[in-house]
């Protein structure tokens, strides 16, 4: 942070120290908040192709699902996603090169979407994952498309959420070139906007964001606070370089070649990634599925995570049910045995005499033991304006599907 002394005395230095202290305090709050949300995930890191260390987190066992986040942000919007899918899947979150959890590369010009895809491959190799379903949010959509282009064998399926394949800020090439040049200039001269860093973490930013872009009736203020604190923690040399990489990326040639199951998710009120982009991707990716979230902004994962989780779960069970059932994961056989026992117990109970049914009161206790009250009491789990509470069951859709079959 630039803290140059003023020619006239120490007043500017004192103000600079105060703002520095304020920003550092907010960053400490961010670290504590992220630990509360994601401290249950195993941490890992790997040196990528050029020696830049890339950080990632893992939780769960089963068919892997990997999230590639947006630029100038990370996975703070995806704690409900982690809780929901880590019960049956190996969930992996990671941080881009130049972003706070990973290292800033020696060569800032190495911050490109192409190299982010290579970093993602390094994370997969280090985590022992041969292939996975890849979820991309915002710039993460570009990253997973580039991964598919470079390493198609690493991709089982794609779930692009609120993200473009190119033409991020304008469909006009000259406009995009100007914007890219501006971001590159800011990357070389971040001191020009360094004064804005302490403003980023002021509480007033949340109501402003809700007024300008976010769905104010659905988004949780706690997550947006983490978002602004994360942006303040960023190395802005790297951050603006990543924005330039996103602005200049062109993945139009890739979307015509995608031949894996694909689910597109967008928000109808997303001004950063207009719906027309998702419409175009849906038209050109053969056999793709498309869900549009009513009233969703660019922060749809924070606004309505339960709807997104349920839709992705349905997508996974539609296309990968056999693979999920036979995935060589620890505890998967035990889960299947439990389901078989439960089914056998139901048949046995139906054939019992009235005298034998006296043992039935013991069953409610057993069912109560399966509940996870700690997860419900967790502060981060409560989101204002959400349509649904996340299921407490270890297999979220299982009971719904079983009930449908019984009917």
Domain boundaries, the chain: 11-325
CATH architecture of 11-325: 3-Layer(aba) Sandwich (3.40)
Q: What is the pLDDT along the chain (407 residues), one digit of tens a residue?
A: 433 333 444 444 554 777 778 888 888 988 899 899 999 999 999 999 999 999 999 999 999 999 999 988 888 889 999 999 999 999 999 999 999 899 999 999 999 999 999 999 999 999 999 999 999 999 999 999 999 999 999 999 999 999 988 877 666 677 778 878 888 888 888 877 777 777 777 776 667 666 556 655 566 677 778 777 888 888 888 988 998 898 889 898 999 999 999 999 998 888 778 788 889 999 999 999 999 988 888 888 888 889 999 999 999 999 999 999 988 744 344 344 444 544 555 555 555 544 433 333 333 333 333 334 444 444 444 433 333 444 444 445 555 455 545 54
Q: Shortest CA distance to 123 belongs to which of 145, 143, 100, 149? A: 143
The position carrying tokens 């039935």 is 360
- On whether the CB atoms of residues 320 and 294 are closer than 8 A, the answer is no
Q: Give the pLDDT of residue 217.
A: 58
**Tell me, what's the pLDDT at 220?**
64
pLDDT of residue 11: 46
Distance of alpha carbon 309 from alpha carbon 331, whole angstroms: 22
- Say what the pLDDT of residue 7 is: 41
Spatial CB neighbours of 113, under 8 Å, sequence gap ≥ 6: 139, 142, 143, 146, 245, 246, 249, 251
The C-alpha R_g of the chain, in whole angstroms, comes to: 23
pLDDT, position 194: 78
Q: Are 46 and 54 in contact (CB under 8 A)?
A: yes
* DSSP annotation of 191: G
How does DSSP classify residue 161? E
Cβ-contact 262, 289 below 8 angstroms:
yes
Alpha helices (runs of H) in 136-248, residue ranges in sequence order: 139-150, 173-188, 197-200, 205-212, 221-233, 236-248
Q: Report yes or no: 46 and 113 within 8 Å, Cβ to Cβ.
A: no
Q: Where are the alpha helices (DSSP H) in 39-138?
A: 79-85, 113-126
CA–CA gap between residue 138 and residue 235 (Å, rounded)? 20
Q: Match 């990634």 to its residue by tokens.
A: 273
Q: What is the pLDDT of residue 324?
A: 93
Q: How many whole angstroms separate alpha carbon 122 and alpha carbon 379?
A: 34
Query: Do the Cβ atoms of 94 and 55 come closer than 8 Å?
Result: yes
Give the residue among 67, 15, 70 at the shortest CA–CA distance from 41: 67
Q: How much is the pLDDT for 263?
A: 97
CB 43 within 8 A of CB 55: yes
Residues in the chain: 407
Q: Where are the beta strands (DSSP E) in 28-145?
A: 42-47, 53-59, 65-68, 91-94, 132-137
Extract the tokens encoding 312.
């992705």
Alpha-carbon span 26 to 94, nearest angstrom:
22
């Amino acid at each position: 942070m630039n803290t140059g002394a003023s020619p006239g005395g120490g007043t500017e230095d004192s103000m600079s120290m105060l703002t520095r202290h304020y920003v550092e305090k907010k960053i400490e709050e961010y670290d504590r908040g992220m630990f509360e949300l994601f401290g249950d995930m195993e941490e890992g890191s790997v040196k990528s192709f050029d020696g830049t260390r890339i950080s990632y987190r893992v939780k769960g066992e089963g068919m892997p699902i990997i999230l590639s986040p947006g630029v100038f942000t990370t996975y703070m919007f995806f704690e409900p996603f982690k809780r929901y899918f880590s019960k049956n899947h190996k969930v992996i979150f990671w941080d881009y090169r130049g972003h706070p959890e990973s290292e800033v590369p020696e060569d800032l010009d190495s911050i490109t979407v192409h190299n982010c895809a290579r970093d993602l491959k390094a994370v997969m190799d280090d985590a022992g994952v041969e292939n996975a379903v890849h979820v991309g949010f915002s710039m993460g959509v570009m990253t997973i498309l580039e991964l598919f282009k470079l390493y198609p064998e690493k991709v089982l399926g794609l779930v692009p959420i609120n993200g473009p394949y190119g033409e991020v800020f304008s469909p006009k090439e000259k406009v995009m070139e100007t914007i890219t040049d501006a971001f590159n200039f800011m990357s070389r001269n971040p001191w020009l906007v360094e004064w804005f860093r302490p403003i980023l973490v002021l509480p007033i930013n949340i109501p402003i964001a809700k007024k300008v872009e976010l769905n104010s009736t659905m988004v949780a203020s706690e997550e947006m606070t983490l978002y602004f604190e994360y942006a303040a923690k960023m190395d802005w040399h790297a951050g603006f370089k990543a924005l330039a990489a996103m602005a200049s990326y062109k993945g139009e040639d890739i979307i015509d070649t995608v031949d894996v199951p694909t689910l597109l998710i967008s928000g109808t009120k997303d001004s950063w990634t207009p719906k027309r982009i998702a419409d175009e991707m849906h038209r050109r990716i053969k056999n793709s599925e498309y869900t549009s979230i009513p009233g969703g902004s660019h922060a749809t994962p924070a606004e309505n995570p339960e709807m997104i989780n349920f839709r992705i779960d349905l997508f996974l069970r539609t296309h990968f049910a056999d693979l999920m059932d036979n995935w060589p994961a620890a505890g998967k056989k035990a889960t299947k045995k439990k389901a078989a026992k439960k089914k056998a117990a139901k048949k046995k109970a139906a054939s019992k005499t009235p005298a034998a049914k006296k043992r039935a009161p013991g069953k409610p206790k057993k069912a109560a033991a399966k509940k996870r009250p700690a997860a419900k009491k967790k502060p981060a789990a409560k989101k204002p304006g959400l349509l649904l509470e996340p299921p407490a069951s270890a297999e979220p859709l299982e009971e719904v599907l079983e009930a449908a079959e019984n009917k």
